[in-house]
Structure 1
């Protein structure tokens, strides 16, 4: 990117005229070299510049393309989606982080090389003065190119700094700054090519494919490329070492009795457990910033393990797809339920994933893009799928506020190898979840609505059951405020038990007035099988959810991971949304006292 553009001195505006003797000597040398007189030698660049340039170009392109893929996943993204046809799919996180580290190392290497090889004149700000003087177009283009270089430097430094912040869990405004810097770099690439072409045509562009020996200057280091490369390698190694050396360890304490599962974490045993705080970000809602810090504690009691989680959530959201009676029938409130990407009328959720490896993307189980599995269907929302490719298992615990979460249940699930799709999924009429599934057994929740195959939740829906006493059911829901960000009352019940209801009938429906709101979730039966391995207690207060969970250290189930030293954890907060949870890059490692 930083090839020689113009003269040897930053303020040389014209070249001195050659004497007839010099001209004759030049012609003789060209003839000796086998070139006809008056034919210029092709322009070239030194080998070090060429190697560093193209290595940096590759690293930046990988970083940009993978970054645009991640950016395209954001709610409301449009610019990144313009590049959809060329964006990579699959396990993007590792490629993005590794390329970013290489960009950082190469920046230092390039800067060192220019200094050691006495090539700093290429980016000398003194060249910009040409724009204020009478000068040729070529010199003006060279000056503009120097300005572009410094804009690139600022953008790459901003990208690196904000990338570190995002990696450490700081989101919000830094996501926007990071994206803006990436757009600047992307714009620079096009401008860079155009400026070089305007300066010297195709020959100027081809010089980066024509190496030559580096010209010697007074004060130049003997081996500038080797020294610069070594410095870049040291920067990369130091960055990786710093990352792994500063990751959080969750130390599992020992106790004699299990906590009371009431969602308070006021038992004495929790005070003996050292907390870990994990910043998560880039989720939907959460007061528009998408950030939530999660506190985690863990205690072993014999053959049981207890976890305490506390996370920020500005409102208590229980109304998962409520039903509203209208003049033309029942409607289920939603914004994108048809593509399994609800971000409005949904319950709060929380998820913790355990893996035996620390691969980025939740143990390598997150694959981005509209169709990461080429021979299988895409997700309905087209954002990606969860599955593993190495035969490993990610144990997933998911707390769902209105689907048993407030009743002491936590769903036991997993990510594994992708399953074969059924006919409905192949036809795009069913949700394909790849390697995401629940443990064997049964949950006790079902949905109290039946989708119309034509309107897909955007018209009227069928209703499975109606309340025996609708006024009592409505009263249990507390103050009914259907605004998206409204916090539902403490003690309110946005689900309906089977014994409180009867199968749908027109006669029963006629008793219920237009405008009535009913829960969209039915609770019937009991949790059973391995899906019932987890017990929990939860409570929301003053902008925080608290969840306590207990499970056997080793359930013996092949879809569960035994709790032991060296497990890695990832945490996700869902603020009344279906899939757009918060995330963090660095896993938490579990250790036992």
Structure 2
């Protein structure tokens, strides 16, 4: 890829491009020539070409893989694209692009300042003028890619939605179309030997030293990225110290005096299902030296309390769903929220992978260490705790496992169970485990609420102890009868219940209060300390398609 040069010599030619062939030259020989070495370029220009090739290839392949996860490209391309921590590599390549392009532009600026002023306008052939316009388009695409990528990384409110992702992908594909044109025009102007000359410049000895230095710098940058993540890019989440007597009461409200002392931090999450414009989440945090308290608020016009309801049909019972069989239910599901804590500031703590064991949208697993996950579910966490989980090493698949979750696992529980009311799931028909003791228990569930209708929904669940085992003799319910599929048996005990939680929905907003010891209560938890990376994800009545933000918050525990 050549560069756009605006400075000209007195003869009217660009210093970074050789003079176009004269009319007499083109009359004697074809411009599509293999013989005759083309004039070499300055070494920074050649270095830009050399570095752009691997950066472009790596950015394109990782970006296409991420686009499949966003549903912008067909999953059929999955096997031809890279796997693993693709998001990490895409971000690292973007940083390398910024360093290379700004380094080159800095050299151009210094060169122009140190050169004597020249007079006259360039005299270029028509092909050379078209080439200049082509280079302007190439540079515009590169600048647009960097700008749109920065917007997506920073999760800027109102700008980081699906439209920006589509723009970013479109610019990358446009660049792929412009570069072959660049090669063809270069061959027309300089011959095919101009391709080689673009990588081997004047002052080759100095070029070799710079190339070796940049290779060493790239290796050091990669090592630094892996060992010391760029936490300085994170937004601090300050945890204010409070006296124990001011500890908040967990009631799903922020009217306790202590929350007025905490400093709120807002983060824009994007790309979640049922929230095209994204979800802004506000977090507050305090501690009393032993226990950490969090208050999390986010807008949601609908309090979604329906989770995969059952309906009686002429052939038996069925699960009402629109994607649960592919682990992608986005309509008949309750609201959820997750907090993730990691020692690494890499995207998702380095847990997000594309791989042969994963689906097109990727899965969470760790090669080493763990990510502590606090998973709150509005319907299935009703007894004062949430579902304490973690991302660890990917587990082998188990026979009969309905859904492979790679490294996502719940922390161990000593007791407690919240279960689905069916024996085995089938998209067409299921056999319930239990039936209500009395038909009157189903009266509140006579009609399905509209998941998109603003307002509060009742919780579609039954107590295990108010039901009895299913038998065909007891199944006298008429066709069309609706029944909750969630059976609440007992609250969890043990490590899985180490995070206390209480939530409340009011006037189009969820408020979730959390409490956990600063010291990790189990082997699958992390100590809460300064420097810990924090992410938040919102599930708006969605099973797996949550909103996200790439740049983490960084926990700061004040003394």
Q: Same fold (TM over 0.5)?
A: yes
In 2, Cα distance between equivalents of 1:61 and 1:191 = 17
Aligned to 1:90: 84
SS state of the match for residue 352, structure 1?
A: strand
Aligned to 2:432: 463
Query: Per-residue displacement from partner, 1:230-249 (whole Å, max 9, x unpaired)?
Result: 9xx9xx9xxx9997166223
SS state of the match for residue 329, structure 2?
A: coil
1:458-537 to structure 2, matched below 5 A, reads 459-475=428-444, 477=445, 480-481=448-449, 483-487=450-454, 489-490=456-457, 492-510=458-476, 512-537=477-502
In 2, Cα distance between equivalents of 1:471 and 1:537 = 29
Query: Per-residue displacement from partner, 1:19-58 (whole Å, max 9, x unpaired)?
Result: xxxx9xxxxxxxxxxxxxx963355444332211121232
Aligned to 1:340: 327
**Contact 2:239-2:262 at 8 Å conserved across structures:** yes
Aligned to 1:385: 363
The 10-residue stretch of structure 1 (270-279 or 58-67) with the greater mean CA deviation from structure 2: 58-67
In 2, Cα distance between equivalents of 1:315 and 1:253 = 34
Matched, 1:244 2:202: no
**Contact 1:443-1:531 at 8 Å conserved across structures:** no
1:402-417 to structure 2, matched below 5 A, reads 402-404=379-381, 406-417=382-393
In 2, Cα distance between equivalents of 1:107 and 1:501 = 67
**Contact 2:446-2:482 at 8 Å conserved across structures:** no
C-alpha displacement of 1:275: 1.2
In 2, Cα distance between equivalents of 1:328 and 1:82 = 36
Aligned to 1:298: 285
C-alpha displacement of 1:146: 2.3
How many correspondences in the alignment? 519
Aligned to 2:55: 59
1:347-362 to structure 2, matched below 5 A, reads 347-358=334-345, 360-362=346-348
Aligned to 2:45: 49
In 2, Cα distance between equivalents of 1:116 and 1:44 = 21
Aligned to 2:519: 554
**Contact 2:40-2:201 at 8 Å conserved across structures:** yes
Inter-CA distance 432–104: structure 2 relative to 1 (3 Å threshold): same
C-alpha displacement of 1:555: 4.6
**C-alpha RMSD over aligned residues:** 3.6
C-alpha displacement of 1:311: 1.4
Q: Which runs of 5+ in 2 are unaligned?
A: 29-33, 116-120, 222-227
Query: Per-residue displacement from partner, 1:333-363 (whole Å, max 9, x unpaired)?
Result: 22222232222221111001112232x1222
Query: Per-residue displacement from partner, 1:130-175 (whole Å, max 9, x unpaired)?
Result: 7xxxxxxxx5444333222212222222221222221111222333
In 2, Cα distance between equivalents of 1:584 and 1:353 = 11
TM-score normalised to structure 1 length: 0.78
Aligned to 1:435: 407
In 1, Cα distance between equivalents of 2:332 and 2:129 = 55
In 1, Cα distance between equivalents of 2:384 and 2:510 = 14
In 2, Cα distance between equivalents of 1:504 and 1:161 = 59
**Contact 1:293-1:311 at 8 Å conserved across structures:** yes
Inter-CA distance 46–519: structure 2 relative to 1 (3 Å threshold): same
Aligned mate of 1:420, from 392, 396, 403: 396
1:188-227 to structure 2, matched below 5 A, reads 188-197=178-187, 202-213=192-203
**Contact 2:321-2:331 at 8 Å conserved across structures:** yes
Inter-CA distance 186–254: structure 2 relative to 1 (3 Å threshold): farther
**Contact 2:138-2:175 at 8 Å conserved across structures:** yes
Aligned to 1:219: none
Aligned to 1:35: none
C-alpha displacement of 1:296: 1.0
Query: Per-residue displacement from partner, 1:468-503 (whole Å, max 9, x unpaired)?
Result: 23343341x48632x44235635x121111122222
**Contact 1:317-1:487 at 8 Å conserved across structures:** no
Query: Per-residue displacement from partner, 1:154-198 (whole Å, max 9, x unpaired)?
Result: 222222122222111122233333232222223323433344445
Q: Which runs of 5+ in 1 are unaligned?
A: 24-37, 121-125, 131-138, 215-221, 372-377
Query: Per-residue displacement from partner, 1:206-265 (whole Å, max 9, x unpaired)?
Result: 333443349xxxxxxx99x98xx99xx9xx9xxx99971662232233132432222112
SS state of the match for residue 562, structure 1?
A: coil
In 1, Cα distance between equivalents of 2:374 and 2:36 = 70
In 2, Cα distance between equivalents of 1:67 and 1:262 = 43
In 2, Cα distance between equivalents of 1:334 and 1:195 = 55
Aligned mate of 1:180, from 150, 163, 170: 170
SS state of the match for residue 248, structure 1?
A: strand
1:535-574 to structure 2, matched below 5 A, reads 535-574=500-539
In 2, Cα distance between equivalents of 1:294 and 1:434 = 28
Inter-CA distance 295–55: structure 2 relative to 1 (3 Å threshold): same
Aligned mate of 1:282, from 271, 294, 297: 271
Aligned to 2:12: 9
Inter-CA distance 4–523: structure 2 relative to 1 (3 Å threshold): closer
**Contact 1:317-1:486 at 8 Å conserved across structures:** no
